[in-house]
Amino acid sequence: MPITSVNSDANALTLTIVGDYTVPVQRLWDAFADPRQLERFWGPETWPATFTRHDMEVGGYSQYHMTGPDGSTSHGSWRFLAIEPGRRFEVEDGFTDENGMPNDGLPHMRMIFTFEPTAQGSRFTGVTHFPGVAEMQQLLDMGMLEGMQSAMGQLDAVLAGPAPVS
């Protein structure tokens, strides 16, 4: 499993996941930039994701839903706040209804994903920033930590496949 560390810090209101991969940074970046690759790992194994929109540009949106084993769905979106191609991107992540409208009954988070070269390939660091302790606890109680670990655990298989042809 590529995940090398997971840290939940209630004082900093963050959840940090680090993974090391034996592929170049560009290959790792491409897995997040291409919605067909992204949906192969963004979501726990039992709740696979489907991206219906992925406008990866500052101000752009991604919309997705995850489908559970019983057929139920959970909808979400990303609003891209910053992008440094091949290096990092930042999104506001939140829950939505089936029409893509924000679900204000559930917390929104800020997520920063960074990609950097290592001697063995590349490193992914994902830091989720929560708006408050109550919101962080609510999402952790909903299984966010386990869900992120399951999702990121699937990235190896995506990276083992051929890079997409542009």
Per residue in 126-154, pLDDT (tens digit) is: 999 999 999 998 988 888 888 888 888 88
Residue 30: predicted pLDDT? 95
pTM score: 0.90
Please state the rounded mean pLDDT for residues 36-47. Answer: 91
Write down the domain spans for the chain.
3-160
Superfamily of domain covering 3-160: START domain (3.30.530.20)
Flag whether pLDDT at 166 surpasses 70. Answer: no
Q: What residues contact 29, with CB distance under 8 A and at least 6 apart? A: 85, 86, 115
Residue 165: predicted pLDDT? 61
pLDDT single digits (tens) 108-129: 999 999 999 999 999 999 999 9
Flag whether pLDDT at 164 surpasses 80. Answer: no
Question: Could you tell me if 98 and 65 are in contact, meaning their C-beta atoms sit under 8 angstroms apart?
Answer: yes
Concatenated DSSP letters of 86-102: TTEEEEEEEEE-TTS-B
- State the Cα–Cα distance between residues 51 and 42, nearest whole angstrom: 9
